[in-house]
Homo-oligomer: A and B are copies of this chain.
């Protein structure tokens, strides 16, 4: 069995570690916090762990980078001298623009980085919220670039199978980040903005499912998401503009009491929404 290193034992890294340990892999944890390592060892989430990457990196066949996106480049720069030749790195960042290519650019020639995105992030932070079942039923995207080998793409797909995800797809960086910009980032901007529209605590007792559904993701990890938004800024700004255009169009129809246009918009949204019922 391969030895898999996991860099960062937060909620996502530790969830990877749990599932891969269950499947029989030797899982090595790399963490800045000794306390987190001790907990991971005590719970047998990892086989070995260290705060000193040089001690164990050379033993790893594959390394999963479960760091905040902007930490990846500095971490690789500092530690790539310890990689074993032919190591395969995989990052799991929620956006890929401005992250993957700069790392591939400076990476040693005898190792490779392939990007993956298991779409099962959680708002909670830390190892105590890790949960190997988040992979069950998840979408898992492999995001290859021109620098990736067929073998690395294949290995990344196989990791998805081992994790037990529902569906494995391949997308380019641009396709991935447009998809995320609309489905995930724009929806978070909307939920956060709805919650911030005005003070609303007096309405709690009247709230039904609609409002709860629309604002569930207004609970958000501010450190991670502010990074992800800035990294995908150009695409997300476009999506916000298109959404605001749609709201503005609706508003004009309402202002003019243009019932026919409102009905057309309702019918269109109803028809489009039907495709998303499963």
A182-B200 in contact given A205-B169, A219-B273, A274-B219 (Cβ < 8 Å): yes
A203 and B229 contacting across the interface, CB-CB below 8 Å: no
B263 touches A222 (CB 8 A): yes
Q: How many residues of A contact B (CB 8 A)?
A: 83
Query: Please, how many angstroms separate the alpha-carbon atoms of A266 and B196 in the complex?
Result: 9
A185 CB, min distance to chain B CBs, angstroms: 10
A259 (CB) vs chain B CBs: closest residue: B226
How many copies of this protein are present in the complex? Answer: 2
Q: Of B206, B213, B242, which is within 8 A of A217 by CB? A: B213
Q: In whole angstroms, what is the CA distance A229 to B208 when docked? A: 19
Known: A197-B243, A211-B183, A262-B222. A189 touches B250 (CB 8 A): yes
In contact, B193 and A211 (Cβ under 8 angstroms): no
A23: CB under 8 A from chain B?
no
Beta-carbon nearest neighbor of A238 in chain B: B198
Q: Is the CB of A167 within 8 A of B273?
A: no
Residues of A within 8 A of B (CB): 119-120, 139, 141, 167, 169, 179, 182-184, 186-198, 200-201, 203-208, 210-223, 225-227, 229-230, 233, 236-237, 239-251, 254-255, 257, 259, 262-263, 265-270, 272-276
